[in-house]
Structure 1
Amino acid sequence: MTSDVSADARAGSSAAPKVGVLTLAAMVVGSMIGGGIFTLPSNFGGATGVLGALIAWTVAGLGMLMLAFVFQSLAMRRPDLDNGIYVYAQAGFGPYAGFNAAWGYWASNVVGNVFFMVFAMASIGEFVPGLGDGSTLFAVLLASVGVWTFHVLISRGIRQAAVVNRIVTIAKLLPIVVFIVLALVSFDAGTFGDNFWGGRSHTLGSLFDQVTDTMLVTTFVFLGIEGASVYSRLAQRREDVGRATLLGFVSTLALFASVTLVSYGVLPQRELAAADQPSMGAVLESVVGSWGATFISIGVIISVLGAYLAWTLLNAEVLFMPARTDVMPRFLGRENASGTPIAALITTTVSVQLFLLLVLVVEDALDFMLDLDTALTLVPYLLAAAYAVKLALTREGFGPEEEKVRRKELAVALLACLYSVFLLYAAGPKYLLLGCIIYAPGAILYVVARREQRQRIFTPPEAVGCVILSLLAMLGIVLIGNGTFSL
């Protein structure tokens, strides 16, 4: 079945129309800009000032660019591995690592979809009383209706049409560009200067803490960067891929940094930190009046609901393809009459619904889901970067004449690994243990899949890894139960 899928994909790729650098760059931008950008003023205002923001975006930009190059390199060195991000972990470190990469990537997308729904409800709350910040009982009930409505549409074979993509892209970019222009017109150098140090002591230790506090936010807005390598099949020329990736990435980074920095020139940091989400609306409202918040809220609603549809389609595939390649249990590979991976879709929808119920008991639903989503994604990213290091060290996929290229790709992969490890540090023990609580139960599905294949379940190192993961998960449950970690 794997070879058939790959053959179909290759056939489709050859028939696909070829595009140039600018079109490829636009695809990269569209894949990375989502709801997270609308939260940046408050998230940064609560963490740091202007100097910390500049350093944070520099670090995040370089780190995520290294990861983007890693995915490009892997796509070139191992073009046979075309079933998703999990295959890099599986090829490099065995089936249990591959399973955890698939499971963690899927779980992160589930949490991300909950973020989209909560954010949509918070934005609709601009017009409908009772929704609050998206975590009220009414908001969760309305979000649940939306979740199952999308489920029915997708299960019937509905796919995101080109016109929907265009609407969603405009909804993302138009409010952002308008916001930046109007904020620049009202930019106050004095306010910007007052926000420069972030209201904290002027020490390197304080600055490091400020930058660390922003890392999960900056990573969240870049999630989806691994999708850039998918577009290589559409390029008119192979060299266009690298140019488009750099152009699209730099453009996206410029938008993220611009939204953050111009906000410091409009409102004092304490007001940015206290702004309700979408905080971009609060900043624009202070500039042009109430219509600014309404304008941003409408853009957010269209953008995040469109993103929810796209990521739900993707997340069903994240379970479906591993099931077809024997990494997940076979039942997740079932399709309905419409060709929809129905078992994977049901599993995804039910999981989103369960996490929506969690929204009722967490303190800050949006920030909680944002941080947890990012923490879950870091493991698949780290494993992919580590596999790129392994390929470079073993010289697999490199010709004798490519020694200079190999050294360059090794350096990039090592930097991507270091950045991923730093992000795990920045996530802190709370979100790392919460991640373990989500990762550990996945072993049940792994055992089922291995037994279906009548293969050995764990190698000794894998068994040790599973035990450690389970112990950390139990520790997390205990710390949450006794109040050491609050949700």
Structure 2
Amino acid sequence: MSSAAIGEVAVPAPAQPDARMGVGTLTAMVVGGMVGAGVFSLPARFGVATGILGSLIAWAVAGTGMLMLAFVFQNLAIRKPELDSGVYIYAKAGFGDYVGFNSAIGFWASTVAGNTFYWVFLCATLGTFTDSFGDGDTFLAVAVSSVGVWLFHVLVARGVRDAAVINQIVTVCKILPIVLFIVVLLFSVDTGVFSQNWLASDYGLGSLNDQVRNTMIITTFVFIGVEGASVYSRYARRREDVGRATVLGFLSVLCLFALVTLASYAVASQPEIAATRQPSMVGIFSGEVGHWGEIFISVAAIVSVLGAYLAWTLMAAEVVYNPARAEDMPRFLGQENEQGVPITALVVTSLGIQALLGLTLFVTDALDFMLDFSTVLALVPYLLSAAYALKLALTGEAYQGVPPGVRRRETIVAGAATAYTLFLFDAAGLRFILFATIILAPATLLYVKARSETARRIFSPVEICLCALIVLGAAVGVLGLATGRFEV
């Protein structure tokens, strides 16, 4: 696209070879995006829902479903190499401009809610040592978080490459303490406790099916970021590195998360794990090694959260920036600074996080609300990407000259990923789906402005129906909040 086609916004020059990201850097972006606060919450979140057998089934279901999504992003990178803007562009290519726009907004809003969760979680971790931070939702917590938001804003504004290198370093620093947690607990196994936790049938957790369903949101949240390499595909040294980094990063993180959960069940009973204050890894570890473990894991949690926050801020800015470059969002969101950073998109992202931090003062359980809200919003682009991959496989588009067995295999993968994301919407419940439309409905004004800037027809007949459905959902959601039927 020429610069004239988008007015005053200049098209960035191609990155120099030495500025491109290799598979190691891309994998670090995937791991860095997924390994954040979620892993430090896993013991208690699983403890309140299920025992060992339920957790194994949950990880098998979530691992298989998210692996299918990882394969979807890998396959799309191969079949459609010209689409280098990640989750947004897949939805647009498959289902039109307005659907693509909603995919971008959904992913962006998910990162904003996720980053807000990170700040609440960080301050809740500090609340382990001082009551002034409470559960991360006090005035002091919001003030400290606000300072952090804008300090990171300045860091990212210095340049994507600088932030990516820092992310690699932070990723290593936060993985090592988690590995130590697993090793120490596995060497402290209490076989009696482990056996008692196998079914947890004496603790009134409901049927095995209910136990598994109650873990679905947290298992999905901790895997958000699996598309990280896809979002940064325009920086990749080689196109095939995008798919390799996605799958490699996912499998590494799956093993890590599952072992954290199982190791916790090996040293404490299910009720003890469920009652542990968040971040629950702190209490579990300190119970085995003493007070130094509380400090050690708390520091690791803070480093992990800040590293994941950095990765997610980068992704959020990219996902707003790319649609603006493709004229699907207003031109001002495609502006860059001298370092080539999408600065306007970054400002909007930081302002969004700041607004949600203010909301945490009025939310009943800010930590869980932001986690669940972020997850549901992320399901929008995940579902659309999977559906696009399924559409390509069923129609045969981009499969010319490809052996039938490969196409058949990729059809199964895309179908499984689509079914899994639909299941997650059902597990999330109607309340959070309606909350998502409250974000999507007013954001449509940005789409209208973008279409008007280039004198294009705003909606097709099908898109009008979709827009009306989103607005209706938002109206029901607002009404539910106003009448108290839905709580935040």
Task: Give the TM-score, by structure 1 length.
Answer: 0.91
Match of 2:275 in 1: 274
Residue 455 of structure 1 corresponds to: 456
Q: Which moved more, 1:398-407 or 1:353-362?
A: 398-407
Alignment CA distance shift 1:454-1:154 (3 Å): same
Cα distance in 2 for residues equivalent to 1:7 and 1:150: 23
- Name the structure 2 match of 1:113: 115
Report SS of the residue matched to 1:130.
helix
Distance 2:346 2:177 in 1: 32
Counterpart for residue 419 of structure 2? 418
Q: 1:237 to 1:327 in 2, by over 3 A?
A: closer
Distance verdict in 2 for CA 1:328–1:26, change over 3 Å: closer
**Of 132, 140, 143, the match for 1:141:** 143
Q: Which residue of 2 aligns with 1:37?
A: 39
Alpha-carbon offset, residue 55 of structure 1: 0.4
Alignment of 1:390-429 (within 5 A): 390-429=391-430
In structure 2, the residue matched to 1:215 is 216
Evaluate the alpha carbon distance shift between residue 331 and residue 236 of structure 1 in structure 2; reply closer, same or farther with a 3 A threshold.
closer
- 2:324 corresponds to which letter in structure 1? A
Query: Does the 8 Å contact 1:104/1:377 carry over to 2?
Result: yes
Paired residue for 1:94, among 96, 118, 133?
96
Which one is further off, 434-443 or 220-229? 220-229
> In structure 2, what residue type is equivalent to 1:419?
Y
**Does the Cα contact within 8 Å between 1:375 and 1:427 map onto a contact in 2?**
yes
- Cα distance in structure 1, aligned partners of 2:180 and 2:58: 24
Structure 1 residues 110 and 193: CA distance shift in structure 2, 3 A: same
* Aligned residue pairs, count: 482
CA, structure 1 residues 225+475, in 2 after alignment: closer, same or farther (shift >3 Å)? same
CA distance in 1, matches of 2:80, 2:298: 43
Aligned counterparts, 1:117-132, within 5 A: 117-132=119-134
Change (3 A) 1:236 1:439: closer
* AA partner of residue 314 (structure 2): L
1:248-271 CA distance string (max 9 Å, x none): 433321111110011112222122
The alpha-carbon deviation at position 102 of structure 1 amounts to 0.5
Question: Cα–Cα, structure 1 residues 401 and 357, in superposed 2: closer, same or farther, change >3 Å?
Answer: closer
Percent identity over paired residues:
55
Q: Distance in 1 between matches of 2:239 and 2:439?
A: 42
State the partner residue of 1:103: 105
CA 111–246 in structure 1, closer or farther in 2 if over 3 Å, else same? closer
Partner of 1:290: 291
Q: Is the 8 A contact 2:88 2:104 kept in 1?
A: yes
Q: Report 1:376-391 matches (<5 A).
A: 376-391=377-392
Deviation at 1:456, TM superposition (A): 1.0
Distance apart, 1:233 and its partner CA: 8.3
Cα distance, 1:422 vs structure 2: 0.4
Q: Which runs of 5+ in 2 are unaligned?
A: none
Counterpart residue number, 2:264: 263
Deviations 1:94-121 (A, max 9, x none): 1110000001000000001101111111
Give how far 1:36 is off.
1.0
Q: Is the 8 A contact 2:200 2:270 kept in 1?
A: yes
- What's the counterpart of residue 66 of structure 1? 68
Contact 1:232 1:241 in 2 (8 A): no
SS of aligned partner of 1:196? coil
Tell me by how many angstroms 1:47 deviates: 1.2
Unaligned runs of 5+ in 1: none
Distance 1:107 1:418 in 2: 23
Match of 2:173 in 1: 171
Amino acid of the residue matched to residue 51 of structure 1? L
Whether the 8 Å CA contact 1:124–1:131 is kept in 2: the answer is yes
- Structure 1 counterpart SS, 2:170: helix
Evaluate the alpha carbon distance shift between residue 244 and residue 347 of structure 1 in structure 2; reply closer, same or farther with a 3 A threshold: closer
The aligned amino acid for 2:218 is: V
- Mapped to 2, the partners of 1:343 and 1:286 lie a distance apart of 46
1:424 CA displacement: 0.5
Cα displacement (A) at 1:244: 6.2
Q: Which stretch shows the higher mean deviation, 476-485 or 126-135? A: 126-135
- What is the deviation of 1:171? 2.8
* Alpha-carbon distance in 1 for matches of 2:431, 2:406: 39
Letter matched to residue 116 of structure 1: Y
Using the alignment, how far apart are the partners of 1:161 and 1:103 within structure 2? 23
Question: Once the 2 structures are TM-superposed, how far is the Cα of residue 430 of structure 1 from its aligned partner?
Answer: 1.4
The Cα shift of 1:277 comes to 1.4
Aligned residue type for 2:210: D
Give TM-score, length-normalised by structure 2: 0.91
Equivalent residue runs for 1:18-37 within 5 Å = 28-37=30-39
